[in-house]
Amino acid sequence: MNLPNKLTMLRVLLIPVFMLLIGYENYIAAVAVFAVASFTDYLDGNIARKRGLVTDFGKFMDPLADKVLTTTAMIYMVAQGLCDPIVLIIIMAREFAVAGVRMIAAETGKVIAANIFGKIKTVLQMVVIMLSYIFFGLEQQYGISLAVGGFSAVQICFGLMWLVGIVTLLSGVIYLWDNRQFFVNAK
């Protein structure tokens, strides 16, 4: 297993650590773990491209690791009132649709890597999740309110997550359009 794939697997292994910290309401430590996991996403792709270490395993596992990491965080955010369940449904529907296209493509021997819109969506999701848990964590753990313009931290998080939902929806539509040949003529 090459270094980029090891970094991807490290991201997967950090997910239960993140969950444990969120479960014990240690939001700031959870953000730190989430940040490290998110940074491995940048590192693995960068190293793989620069060193010519791109593999089918990496093309498959890297976006899957991202999806599991971000979806896990968003499920907790819904439970804590930081994200509208509709946003989570939009995000999960997009991910299932993309996974379906990738499965159809795989049957033809083709592996579809993430496109630039999917990467932008993932970075936005990761940044908003971290900001949301920083705002929420400072308020819950330390009583520090980061209210802005009369909006509470929870309202800000809610609004940012709707932005993520819209960007996710758009990236999904673009992905499906760009790869329509795999499902238009599917048998």
C-alpha distance from residue 183 to each of 102, 103, 109, 139, 180 (Å): 10, 10, 15, 47, 6
C-alpha distance from residue 114 to each of 76, 83, 88, 174, 184 (Å): 25, 25, 20, 12, 20
Q: In the predicted model, what is the mean pLDDT of the chain?
A: 89
Backbone angles phi, psi at 151, to 5 degrees: -100, 135
The C-alpha atoms of residue 71 and residue 78 are separated, in whole angstroms, by 10
Q: Is the pLDDT of residue 13 over 90?
A: yes
Least confident of 2-16, 22-36, 169-183: 169-183
Q: Is the pLDDT of residue 10 over 90?
A: yes
Question: Which residues on adjacent β-strands are paired with residue 151?
Answer: 148
- Residue whose structure tokens are 């758009």: 170
Q: Is the pLDDT of residue 77 over 80?
A: yes
pLDDT band at 185 (very low <50, low <70, confident <90, very high): low
- 32 vs 184, which has greater pLDDT? 32
Pick from 121, 113, 110: nearest CA to 49: 113
